[in-house]
Amino acid sequence: MDLEREFERVVAADHRIEPRDWMPEGYRKTLVRQIAQHAHSEIIGMQPEGDWISRAPSLRRKAILLAKVQDEAGHGLYLYAAAETLGADRDDLTARLVEGRQKYSSIFNYPTLTFADVGVIGWLVDGAAICNQVPLCRTSYGPYARAMIRICKEESFHQRQGYELLMTMMRGTRAQRDMVRDAVDRWWWPALMMFGPPDEESANTERSLAWRIKRHTNDELRQRFVDMSVPQAEKLGVTLPDPKLAWNAERGHYDFGEIDWAEFWRVVKGDGPCNAQRVAHRREAHEDGAWVREAAAAYAAMRERAA
Amino acid sequence: MSGSSWPLYEVFVRGKRGLNHVHVGSLHAPDDEMALRNARDLYTRRNEGVSIWVVRASAITASSPDEKDPFFAPSGDKVYRHPTFYDIPEDVPHL
């Protein structure tokens, strides 16, 4: 049990576990699942915003959106690479995603109905993602932590471009302001759900905290996000769609209303507005790209033979 | 599913002139040249580097963490390799 003691010593000392170190099987499995789901979320997350690249209202917005969607692809690849250091196989991970056997963040199962959604995704969805991800820069598994550091650096542009887009629309016409408000109304609650089920129902939280994979509970991070978002909403001039949202001086935090957990579980289990469409689109893109992968592999094999 | 999986490459980037190449991550590519192009797109989207190395992961030989102690032990008792091992009076300049 020397190996296990050494593992626990490294984790307790807040040092990093590296790929070839001994680790408990449960630690490896938990990480593979979490990193894979995180990677899938980045890859599926390209779709809702990708929908607006061809319809962006200006060249400036189009270039920004392209760069952002390209970043999401990059983030997915950093994370797949981190999962592979744990022995996961890339083709297998892709298969799990396109066959619906592995999940991704439910937030991407909601549609982007107007261009204001692009802004709100940057502000609230990427904002919530940053809240989740910043503590992961100190997660106990080295390759995951390093991937998260890269991702967090790049993510801050995502949130700022979203907020700037919304500020621009709020200075525009009445119709544009209404569009922003409508988008905020639709995305606020799903954004709060991004932190996952409440602590008392989160099966894996305790063990993940002990292993220092997670550094904070779902509810702690959700509260942090609410506290950050309220003043941002005020500055923007929008009202968050929660009548119970109020400052609680005693707690030093904002109180907020009850999340519709029935909706959360419905979407997680596959019955959200876009679940089927997102997975089908990913599967189609993967299958349509098969000939490129095969041709490149054949070309490489031919050159290797000739050499 | 297509089974034609590409080999894994490790990517090293020199952040700027005067620095070493540093390992930044890995990627899959069909050949060396594509690995280099993919590495550019994946790891240097914001001017993070002036030079990239890619090498097939299978070509790397690494020390094993299990034998970490015996492997690095030989340097443990050679304190005389460090400058602080030597007592020099404080008033000797430039030493």
Structural contact between residues A213 and A11, judged by C-beta atoms closer than 8 angstroms: no
* Count of all residues that appear for chain A in the document: 307
Quote the pLDDT of residue A1: 61
Calpha distance A210→B14 (Å, rounded):
36
Of A81, A166, A73, A93, whose CA–CA distance to A123 is shortest?
A166
Domains of chain B, by residue range, sit at 3-62
Quote the pLDDT of residue A259: 97
CATH architecture under which domain B3-62 falls: Roll (3.10)
Cα of A44 vs its chain's centroid, Å: 9
Residues of B in contact with A77 (CB under 8 A): 27, 42
Q: Do A70 and B30 touch (CB under 8 A)?
A: no
Quote the pLDDT of residue B33: 95
Calpha distance A148→A136 (Å, rounded):
6
Contact status of B60 with chain A (Cβ, < 8 Å): no
* Count of all residues that appear for chain B in the document: 95
Residues of B in contact with A91 (CB under 8 A): 1-3, 5
Interface test with B, best of A21, A80, A102, A293 (most B CBs within 10 A): A293
Structural contact between residues B26 and B57, judged by C-beta atoms closer than 8 angstroms: yes
Quote the pLDDT of residue A197: 94
Q: Give the mean model confidence (pLDDT) for residues B31-56.
A: 96
Quote the pLDDT of residue B67: 66
Q: Which residue among B4, B6, B42 places its CB closest to the CB of A74?
A: B42
Question: Which residue type does A207 have?
Answer: R
Q: Do B64 and A20 touch (CB under 8 A)?
A: yes
Nearest CA in chain A to B48: A150
| Full domain range(s) for residue A279 | 3-306
Quote the pLDDT of residue A206: 86
Q: In A, what residues contact B, Cβ < 8 A?
A: 18, 20-22, 67, 70-71, 74, 77-78, 81-82, 84-85, 89-91, 94-95, 98, 143, 146-147, 154, 286, 290, 293-294, 296-297, 299-300, 303-304
Quote the pLDDT of residue A302: 94
Q: Which residue has the tokens 């994946």?
A: B42
Q: Do A299 and B46 touch (CB under 8 A)?
A: no
Quote the pLDDT of residue B68: 66
Quote the pLDDT of residue A140: 97
**ipTM score of complex:** 0.90
Q: Do A296 and B30 touch (CB under 8 A)?
A: yes
- What CATH number is given to the structural domain containing A194? 1.20.1260.10
Q: Do A154 and B3 touch (CB under 8 A)?
A: no
pLDDT tens, A59-72? 999 999 999 999 99
Residue A282 phi, psi dihedral angles, 5° rounding? -65, -40
Calpha distance A223→A256 (Å, rounded):
9
Low-confidence stretches of chain A (pLDDT < 70) are 1
Quote the pLDDT of residue B45: 93
Nearest CA in chain A to B6: A297
Q: Do A91 and B42 touch (CB under 8 A)?
A: no
Per the confidence metrics, is the pTM higher than 0.90?
yes
In sequence order, what are the residues at sequence separation of 6 or more whose Cβ sits closer than 8 angstroms to the Cβ of residue A64? Answer: A161
Q: Give the mean model confidence (pLDDT) for residues B47-52.
A: 94
**Confidence at B1, pLDDT banded by 50, 70, 90:** very low
Alpha-helical regions (H) of B1-95:
32-43, 68-72
Long-range Cβ contact pairs of A53-58 (< 8 A, separation 24 or more): A55/A115, A56/A115, A56/A118, A57/A115
Q: How many domains does chain A have?
A: 1
pLDDT tens, B57-93? 999 998 877 666 777 777 778 888 988 899 999 999 8
Q: What percent of chain B has pLDDT over 70?
A: 92
Three-state SS for B55? strand
